Structure 1
Amino acid sequence: MKRLSWRERLLRMNQRSLFGTASRSLGRTAAAREMSGELEDVSTAAIARAEAVQRLQVGLFGIGAMVLLVGLASIIGGQADRIDELAAPEAAPTIEPSVAPAQANPLADAGVVPDIAAEPSPSPSPRPLDLPPPRQGAPVDAAPQ
């Protein structure tokens, strides 16, 4: 059995269809070689090995592409960090900040609710609960003893 050259191996890999079976695509090339006088015996082990090599090549290419993309992202991120470090800090404001006006009621300003009095009306303070109850005969306003 004659060993195939790299060129012939690549031609066989390129001629194989993704949707067709390997034996069908190799059968066409074998028929073409029979017509030219070359007769080759291609075993199923060789077909399986060629497919495994192709899967390995695709996998290695994918891993290499991911390594390159991660490296490129790392370089871009490093450059962005370096530019941020070298950039001048923002200047302080030259005008003193004005005092914020007193809190206004936005609903009253919009006219949605009636105006609220500026000073709330005093409400009677409740009696403290910690004092003892007044005596029956004592006046209500008398100070506790």
Structure 2
Amino acid sequence: RLESIESRLTEIVAARDRASGEGTDVAQIRCLNDKVSGIQGYFRLASEAQTALEAASNDLEDARHQYSMIVIASGRVSNLANEASQCSTDILTFTGPTNLQATVDDRIPDDTDQTSDLAATDTLDRLTDDDGAPLPEATPFQ
């Protein structure tokens, strides 16, 4: 499992270095850096657990614990490696002007404002609703 973690780390470091050399977007490089940092941490954890596992030959409980640490670290590294492959696909690059065409239905009138005959103050100063019932002094939300 350590070899698998190390090979994924090597692959992602190489991808980051290629991206840096190609003048890739800073956000993509930062994304890859984050994944490399995480994988390096899990690699250290798995390496220490491997050493402790070898030393715990007489302690079955400790050996299980150390093995679990290695398995968990390997799984997390796998997730981070998958996320690293998404770093390059998440970055969108503007490549030129956009051409947009819109068609407006001719049946839609130019002026769709239905309240043009009512002044705003007439509407706001009313003390009754449309049915003639008095308006409350405050809304339930006040």
Same fold (TM over 0.5): no
TM-score (norm 2): 0.31
Larger Rg: 1
Q: Which has the higher contact order (CA 8 A, sep 6+)?
A: 2
| Larger helix fraction of residues | 2
TM-score (norm 1): 0.30
